[in-house]
Structure 1
Amino acid sequence: MSTYLYRVNAFSQDLNSGNPAYVMRLTSPIQKQVMQEIAKELNLPITAFLLEQQCNVYELRWFTPSEEIKLCGHGTLAAAHILWEEGIIEAQHPITFTTKSGHLKVEKVRKGVQLAFSTDAPSPIDITSTIQQLVNVPILKAAQNSDRYLIEVADEESLKGLVPNLDLLATLPVTGLVVTSPSNKYAFQSSERGGELFIDYQDDLTYITGKAITIYKSHFNELLF
C-alpha cells in the first residue's frame, strides 16, 4: 500500500491564509525518530501522522521540525479534514483521535470541522513590568493557564500593530503567548497569514471550529522508513 502525504491549510479555504500542515497517512507504525526526520525535512510548523487503530479511531501525533508536541489544534483539524475528504470515513461519522493528550473527538458540522478540547482555564495575573515588556502596546488584562500567558489589549488596531518580544518570552516559564482583543465579528487569527475560527464553551470543554483546504497530495517514498 502507498503512504499518502497531504499539504493542508487549516482554518482557511484559500492558498495564502490559515495554518499550514502536512498530514501523513501511515499504513503501519514507524519509529519516532523517523517521524521527526520527516517533519524536519518537510519543514512546516506541523506534520501530523495518522495511523488507523480501529473503525473511525486513529492514532495522531504531531511534530514540529524540532520536536514532538502533545497537542495541536490545526494539525488535528487538517487530519480530520483529510479522512473525510478522501472518503476514508463518511462525513456523518465522528472521528476519535488517540493522542499524547488523551482522546480527542472531532465532528463535521455546518461551520466546518469541530474539535473538542478540555478547557485549560486561565487565572488572572498582575501586569508586571516583565509582562508589559512582552508587547509594545498597553495591556488591559493578563492571565496564565498551564503553559502560556494570555494578554488582552484594547482593540483590533492595537492587536494588528503588536510586536511580541520573543527573546524575552523565551526566558520565561511558559511555552507561548496569546494576545487577544474585542471584535465586532468573530474570533479571527490575526497572524501574518490570518485564519478564521469559531470558539464555543460548554461545561469543561472548548469547541474550536474551522474549515480547511487541501493544497496537494502525493505519495511518500516508503523506502525512507
Structure 2
Amino acid sequence: MRQYVVDAFTDSVFHGNQAAVCVLDQWPDDELMMNITRENNFSETAFTVREGDKWHLRWFTPGGEIDLCGHATLGTAYVLFRFYEKDADRLVFTTLSGDLIVTKEGDLLEMEFPAYDLVPVKVTDEMEQVIGSRPLEAFMGRDLLCVMESEKTVRELAPDLEKVKQLDGLLLHVTAAGMDTDCVSRSFAPKLGVAEDPVCGSGHCHIIPYWANVLGKDKLVAYQASKRGGTLYCRREGNKIFMAGKAALYSVDELFFTGS
C-alpha cells in the first residue's frame, strides 16, 4: 500500500499539520484502516479510492472515523494533484459530509466546506477550570468554540485534557483576535485520541463564521497557534467556508503488513 505523509497549511516540512494519505485501488476493511491510523499516530490518516470521476475520501483519527477533516483533505488533494491528477485543477471528494471540492488557486489549494451553525451557550465555571482561563463567549456547533480575551491567552493555555473530555462537543477550539492575522486559535481533541490538533481545518468551519460576523468581513487570514503553527486563507460565502493553504511533502512510503 502506498502512503504519503504531507504537512498541510504550510510551505515547509516540520510545520503545519501532518496527515498520512493512503491512495488505494479498493477499500480494505475498517479494522485495517484503524490499525494503520494508530500505527501512524497522527491526528488524521486519510484513505481514498477513485470512484468514477470522483474520489471517495475517509478520515480516521486514533480514536475512530470522523465526519470532516480539513488538513487531511488538503493533504490528499496535494498528493492527487502531484502524483495522480497532474492535469486537473479541480477534485471532487465523496465524504461523510457530502461532496467536497478542492481547486488550485495559484500556489494555494482551496477547499469548499460547509459552515457549522453556531448556537450560543452559557460560559460556565467548568469551562474556566478545564481551559485555565474564562472564555468571553462560547458557542456549540459540532464542536465547542470558546472565545478568549487575547492572542496571548490562547497561546499560553494549557487545558486539562482529561477534563476536556467532560465538556460538550467533539473538539474544543479556543480563539481570539489576532495581532498579525484576523484571528488565532488552538484545537484540542482528546475524545479522538489527539491531545492538540496542530492545524484544524474543520475547526475553522466554526471559527471563521464567528469572526466573519464579528469583524464584518468575509475574507480572513487565520493562524493556528500550536507549536507547529499553520496559516489558513479563508472566505465565507453564504453557508460555505472556502479554506486555502499550502502543503509540503515529507515522505512517500510502502506499507508492509500481513492481514489486518
Q: Name the aligned partner's letter for residue 81 of structure 1.
A: Y
Higher-helix-fraction structure: 2
Question: Structure 1 66/137 Cα, relative in aligned 2: closer, same or farther at 3 Å?
Answer: closer
Within the candidate set 225, 229, 232, 1:194 is matched to: 229
Distance 2:99 2:245 in 1: 20
Contact kept? 1:111, 1:209, Cα under 8 Å: no
Q: Deviations over 1:107-150 (max 9, x none)?
A: 111351111111112122221212222322242221111x2211
Q: Name the aligned partner's letter for residue 225 of structure 2.
A: S
- More moved, 39-48 vs 204-213: 39-48
Within the candidate set 104, 122, 128, 1:126 is matched to: 122
Distance 1:220 1:89 in 2: 24
Distance 1:33 1:120 in 2: 30
Q: Deviations over 1:185-225 (max 9, x none)?
A: 23100112111112211011011111111111122337556
Whether 1:101 and 2:136 are equivalent positions in the alignment is no
Q: Name the aligned partner's letter for residue 235 of structure 2.
A: D
Aligned pair count?
220
Distance 2:247 2:37 in 1: 20
Contact kept? 1:148, 1:174, Cα under 8 Å: yes
Gaps of at least 5 residues in structure 2 are 182-220
* Equivalent residue, structure 2, for 1:173: 168
* Equivalent residue, structure 2, for 1:112: 108
Question: Structure 1 144/135 Cα, relative in aligned 2: closer, same or farther at 3 Å?
Answer: same
Distance 2:123 2:168 in 1: 16
Question: Structure 1 74/140 Cα, relative in aligned 2: closer, same or farther at 3 Å?
Answer: same
Distance 1:195 1:169 in 2: 23
Distance 1:173 1:139 in 2: 15
Q: Deviations over 1:59-109 (max 9, x none)?
A: 1111122311111111111000101111424242x1111112211111111
Distance 1:85 1:25 in 2: 13
Within the candidate set 177, 182, 188, 1:182 is matched to: 177
Question: Structure 1 89/50 Cα, relative in aligned 2: closer, same or farther at 3 Å?
Answer: farther
Whether 1:68 and 2:65 are equivalent positions in the alignment is yes
* Equivalent residue, structure 1, for 2:12: 14
Whether 1:83 and 2:80 are equivalent positions in the alignment is yes
Larger radius of gyration: 1
Question: Structure 1 123/66 Cα, relative in aligned 2: closer, same or farther at 3 Å?
Answer: closer
The secondary structure found in structure 1 opposite 2:99 is strand
Question: Structure 1 52/154 Cα, relative in aligned 2: closer, same or farther at 3 Å?
Answer: same
Within the candidate set 241, 252, 257, 1:206 is matched to: 241
Distance 1:61 1:181 in 2: 31
Task: Report the aligned-residue RMSD.
Answer: 1.7
Contact kept? 1:51, 1:59, Cα under 8 Å: yes
- TM superposition shift of 1:177: 0.8
* Equivalent residue, structure 2, for 1:40: 38
Distance 2:107 2:119 in 1: 30
Distance 2:170 2:15 in 1: 24
What TM-score does the superposition give when structure 2 sets the normalisation length?
Answer: 0.79
What TM-score does the superposition give when structure 1 sets the normalisation length?
Answer: 0.91
- TM superposition shift of 1:10: 0.6
Question: Structure 1 17/221 Cα, relative in aligned 2: closer, same or farther at 3 Å?
Answer: same
Contact kept? 2:13, 2:249, Cα under 8 Å: no
The secondary structure found in structure 1 opposite 2:23 is strand
The secondary structure found in structure 2 opposite 1:121 is coil
Whether 1:219 and 2:254 are equivalent positions in the alignment is yes
Distance 2:124 2:42 in 1: 34
Q: Name the aligned partner's letter for residue 219 of structure 1.
A: E
What is the 5 A alignment of 1:126-165? Answer: 126-145=122-141, 147-165=142-160
